[in-house]
Amino acid sequence: MSRRILGPFNRVEGDLNITLDFADGKVSAARVTAPLFRGFERILLGREPLDALAIVPRICGICSVSQSVAAAHALSQLYGITPPANGQRVLNLIHAVENIADHLSHFYLFFMPDFARADYQQHGWHGETLARFKAQSGSAVAPMLEARAILMRFMGSLAGHWPHTLCLQPGGVTKVVSAAERVRLQQWLRSFRRFLEQRTFGQPLEAIAALDGQAALEHYRAQTPAADFAHFLHIADSLQLQQLGRSYDHFIAAAAYAGPDGPWSPAGLWQQGLSQPLPQEQISEDNHSSWLAGDGPSAPLHTDTVPLPDKAEGYSWSKAPRVAGLAAETGALARGLLRGEPLLNEMVASAGGNVLSRVVARLTEVARIVPLMEHWLAALELEQPFQQPCPASAVHNSAVGLTEAARGMLGHWVTLDAGRISRYQIIAPTTWNFSPRDSKELPGPLEKALEGVDASDPQALQVQHIVRSFDPCQVCTTH
Amino acid sequence: MASKNKRLLWLQSGGCGGCTLSLLNTEAPSLFTALADIGIELIWHPSFAEQSLDEAMHLLQRLADGSEPLDMLCLEGSVMTGAAGRFHLLPDGQSMSTLIEQLARRASQVIAVGTCAAYGGISAAGDNLTGAVGLDYAGNHPGGLLGGHFHTASGLPVVNISGCPTHPGWVLETLALLASDSLSAADLDPLGRPRFYADKLVHHGCDKNEFYEFKASATAPGQMGCLMEHVGCKGTQAHADCNSRSWNGEGSCLTGGYPCINCTAPDFADPGHGFFSTPQVAGFPVGLPTDMPKAWFVALSTLSKSATPTRVRQNAVLDRLTVPPSLPKKGKA
Ligand code: SF4
Ligand code: SF4
């Protein structure tokens, strides 16, 4: 057996190292290390509950709003208030902007540049990929950043700025939208839609959302070869990316984008083609392999965060979250499966969660969310309130705020004592996906997905594709 | 021309990556074009570089041992000095803080991007059990990783682009000035911040200024009035130009309806009171504008409260401007 330590990984948000053991030239075991710890669960202790709104966004620069949404949900419960419909719509808009911008940054800046590397020179598609997706200088990069910046004006207008807004409050949002602002926002969204339809997809968003199976996806690729998404599908076919990075095929998601008729994307646990409601009370954190006190599974509402940098069994600052004892994968693919989308269900039925299906789930979600945003904007009742007043003190002492970041389920478990935060536990999407082994030695989803992979080339490119297919956010992972 | 480009290395440690993501919001031209335009070659950045794994590590090592030259080093995130550096380890087991120090002593210009890298910031808040510090400051005091009073071979101290997050303009303009060797120690304020943005106050240009003048105050976030008296706004003390240069096209904390929390200050994360409330003594806010005598503030605010127009008083506690200014009387315009 031989061993190889890979790191530092870049084009992942935050820091990541991976230790691989090999047998017969293939990975026999992988250990994923989150090497940076800041201690936000401790920084929050003793503060007034609303102060969480200023602290938690700073856990992460890329899913800052998601952190605020999880905190605001928990605070709504603690203070016993519900945002009015307009407050929910603006929250959805702000959250959707962050999630879509993350999907695009991931595709264009973090994921695609790997296929532009000289290692793929022998492939017919490489010249085009190099021209378009080379890190920083590819011709697709600047137009995407310009379109993204226009989309991010939503944040200036509705949230003050991004990242790290304080506009999301337990009772709604601090910004009221006027008729003139709405037409401005609509104009920016149209220009963003144009970019997606011209460059990313080469077709109307509705046509992408209507792709209902692998045959339709194949047809789209043949019809629209110049589009960035189709170009990726071509590479995926050539490199057989659907055979890369399969994990347990247990998928978990929280509800995303609340509305009067329930959330757009439901909470749940998906296994072997079947969805069940999210068993929230069966979520646990296991610190066996973490440089943290504690060993076996423990409920987040009852866990404390005590760093032990010298712990012998430890190899990561990440905890190992489990649901009903399972290591589960979370992200756009999990959301799509729980929404029952035919294309994603068919892809997972044939080859499971893998590098291809994760990326297809992410990009098709972009095509679905922009029309939703148009709907939320149009539905704003401009004369109505956007926020409810928040009472002077909390009426409950514990709450759980769950939401979906671009990269999956995010949860905040909050406990108050005498009006102050006495415990605040966070489980982020990549804590699920990149968790270390638990006390039963069960590997985390990425650890599982890396088993059997050929990682003999100097850059271990297959490992890099698998890692990035999860769109990891390591600063959230350990917080 | 190309050979004159400055070689910039960007590293991240105990931060959230938000300063990088904010920089990516740069509009017209977008980030990589803008960097090329100002003569900067980004030799490695954890979010954007092609090189990963060993090739990245080897590059960092060559820069650290001096076998490759380094013009500019940007650090984002605090330096994690606790537990002998164990809170941030590199794959080879070396602590990140050691590598940062080696690189800082090689670079001709050292730039702390964000309040974390400058002073410790949010990562150093509370009991700071990770020993998070800034490059050349620990909180308000010189110290930090480099001991305080650090100068590069070119004679510059660490340039502290504080802010949590930093505005993309603060970073790009600082880098452009440095790339053309036109930023000197005299262009920095006593906390090492570029004066072009740190000599302004967030209060300057706030669209709640009229409410401030008349002490017509909001009582909760989201109301139109000034947020200083009751809702924790620190705009009169906060060094930054947030209301004279906009964020994401047209925003600021105040246009978003929530208070300035003074995120360019070293200790902003531990204000000693709730972020959304203003501590008061005898009915007057503690933490007045730094250069205003208290007696004058009390006298002026008492006077201005008695002169507050009804329009301003009513709008102050509403969630949108409802009462319009009146028109000049006919024949007097
Ligand atoms: S200064 Fe703020 S935005 Fe920048 S890295 Fe630190 S926490 Fe993130
Ligand atoms: S809200 Fe703050 S920045 Fe605006 S006028 Fe009042 S004190 Fe100044």
- Residues A147 and A97 sit within 8 Å (Cβ to Cβ): no
pLDDT of residue A319: 98
Q: Which residues contact B69 (CB under 8 A, 6 or more apart)?
A: B7
Quick one: which atom of ligand 1 is closest to the CA of B76? 5
pLDDT of residue B328: 85
Whole-number Å distance between alpha carbons of A265 and A368: 11
Choosing among B22, B32, B37, B53, which should be mutated to test the A contact, i.e. which has the most A CBs within 10 A?
B53
pLDDT of residue A173: 98
A127 to each of A164, A204, A244, A334, A458, how far by Cα in Å? 39, 27, 23, 34, 22
Nearest CA to ligand 1 atom 3: B165
CA dihedral over B325, B329, B330, B333, signed as positive or negative: negative
Search chain A and give the residue with CA nearest B83.
A309
**What is the percentage of chain A residues whose pLDDT exceeds 70?**
100
**What is the percentage of chain B residues whose pLDDT exceeds 70?**
98
Please tell me if residue B33 touches chain A, with a CB cutoff of 8 Å. yes
Ligand 1 centroid to residue B15 C-alpha, Å? 5
Whole-number Å distance between alpha carbons of A124 and A49: 57
pLDDT of residue B68: 97
pLDDT of residue B188: 98
Min Cα distance A152 → chain B (Å) is 6
Quick one: which atom of ligand 1 is closest to the CA of B21? 3
Cis status of the peptide bond prior to B165, with omega within 30 of 0: yes
Ligand 1 centroid to residue B168 C-alpha, Å? 13
CA dihedral over B89, A101, A105, B261, signed as positive or negative: negative
CB-CB under 8 Å, A135 with B48 = yes
Q: What confidence tens digit (pLDDT) does each residue in A34-93 have?
A: 999 999 999 999 999 999 999 999 999 999 999 999 999 999 999 999 999 999 999 999
Q: Which two tokens stand for residue B260?
A: 């300035």
**Nearest CB neighbour to A137, from listed B25, B32, B54:** B32
Pocket test for ligand 2, best of B236, B288, B292 (most atoms within 8 A of CB): B236
Residue A61 with chain B: CB contacts under 8 Å: 15-22, 165
- Residues B10 and B45 sit within 8 Å (Cβ to Cβ): yes
- Residue for token pair 């905040």: A412
Choosing among B12, B21, B97, B321, which should be mutated to test the A contact, i.e. which has the most A CBs within 10 A?
B21
3-class SS at B153? coil
Q: Which two tokens stand for residue A5?
A: 């330590």
Residue A310 with chain B: CB contacts under 8 Å: 86
Q: What confidence tens digit (pLDDT) does each residue in B173-213 have?
A: 999 999 999 999 999 999 999 999 999 999 999 999 999 99
CB-CB under 8 Å, A309 with B251 = no
Q: Which two tokens stand for residue A324?
A: 């009903």
Please tell me if residue B279 touches chain A, with a CB cutoff of 8 Å. no
**Nearest CB neighbour to B250, from listed A58, A156, A386:** A156
- Residue for token pair 């992972």: A477
Q: Amino acid identity, residue B95?
A: S
Cα end-to-end span (Å), chain B: 59
Going by the DSSP 8-state scheme, the letter that residue B297 receives in this structure is: H
Quick one: which atom of ligand 1 is closest to the CA of B122? 7
User: Is A154's pLDDT higher than 60?
Assistant: yes
CB-CB under 8 Å, A58 with B16 = yes
Ligand 1 centroid to residue A176 C-alpha, Å? 27
Quick one: which atom of ligand 1 is closest to the CA of B78? 6
pTM of the model: 0.98
Q: Which two tokens stand for residue B43?
A: 């030799």
Helix (H) or strand (E) run with residue B80 in it: strand B79-80
- What is the ipTM for the molecules in this complex? 0.97
Going by the DSSP 8-state scheme, the letter that residue B88 receives in this structure is: B
- The CB density around residue A263, as the number of other CB atoms within 10 Å, is 16
CB-CB under 8 Å, B319 with A386 = yes
Task: Read off the pLDDT band of A97 (50, 70, 90).
Answer: very high
Q: What confidence tens digit (pLDDT) does each residue in A292-339 have?
A: 999 999 999 999 999 999 999 999 999 999 999 999 999 999 999 999
Residue B125 with chain A: CB contacts under 8 Å: 43, 55
pLDDT of residue A471: 98
Ligand 2 centroid to residue B285 C-alpha, Å? 13
Phi, psi of B258 (to 5 degrees): -130, 160
Going by the DSSP 8-state scheme, the letter that residue B7 receives in this structure is: E
Q: What confidence tens digit (pLDDT) does each residue in A174-186 have?
A: 999 999 999 999 9
- Residues A50 and A471 sit within 8 Å (Cβ to Cβ): no
Whole-number Å distance between alpha carbons of A18 and B253: 40
Q: Own/partner pairs for A65-68, CB < 8 Å, 24+ apart?
A: A65/A94, A65/A95, A65/A97, A65/A98, A65/A159, A65/A162, A65/A163, A65/A165, A65/A168, A66/A95, A66/A98, A66/A99, A66/A403, A66/A404, A66/A405, A66/A406, A66/A410, A67/A405, A67/A410, A67/A412, A67/A476, A68/A165, A68/A166, A68/A168
Q: What confidence tens digit (pLDDT) does each residue in B223-281 have?
A: 999 999 999 999 999 999 999 999 999 999 999 999 999 999 999 999 999 999 999 88
- Residues B162 and B75 sit within 8 Å (Cβ to Cβ): no
3-class SS at B132? strand
Mean pLDDT over all residues of chain B? 95
Residue B49 with chain A: CB contacts under 8 Å: 10-11, 135-136
Strands B6-12 vs A420-427: parallel, antiparallel or unpaired:
unpaired
Quick one: which atom of ligand 2 is closest to the CA of B206? 4
Min Cα distance B148 → chain A (Å) is 23
Min Cα distance B275 → chain A (Å) is 6
Cβ < 6 Å from ligand 1: which residues?
A: A 58, 61; B 15-16, 18-19, 76-77, 114-116, 121-122, 164-165
Please tell me if residue B24 touches chain A, with a CB cutoff of 8 Å. yes
pLDDT of residue B331: 65
Whole-number Å distance between alpha carbons of B220 and A114: 49
Please tell me if residue B324 touches chain A, with a CB cutoff of 8 Å. no
Task: Read off the pLDDT band of B1 (50, 70, 90).
Answer: very low
Whole-number Å distance between alpha carbons of A443 and A436: 6
CB-CB under 8 Å, A5 with B91 = yes
Pocket test for ligand 1, best of B122, B133, B170, B193 (most atoms within 8 A of CB): B122
CB-CB under 8 Å, A35 with B256 = no
CB-CB under 8 Å, A35 with B89 = yes
Phi, psi of B113 (to 5 degrees): -100, 110
Strands A17-23 vs A26-33: parallel, antiparallel or unpaired:
antiparallel
CB-CB under 8 Å, B125 with A161 = no
User: Is B293's pLDDT higher than 90?
Assistant: no
Mean pLDDT over all residues of chain A? 97
Whole-number Å distance between alpha carbons of B28 and B23: 12
CB-CB under 8 Å, A61 with B18 = yes
Residue B92 with chain A: CB contacts under 8 Å: 5
pLDDT of residue B332: 55
Strands A408-417 vs B6-12: parallel, antiparallel or unpaired:
unpaired
- Residue for token pair 């020179």: A121
Quick one: which atom of ligand 2 is closest to the CA of B235? 3
CA dihedral over A468, A168, A68, B167, signed as positive or negative: positive
CB-CB under 8 Å, B251 with A159 = yes
Of how many residues is chain A composed? 479
Please tell me if residue B250 touches chain A, with a CB cutoff of 8 Å. yes
Please tell me if residue B255 touches chain A, with a CB cutoff of 8 Å. yes
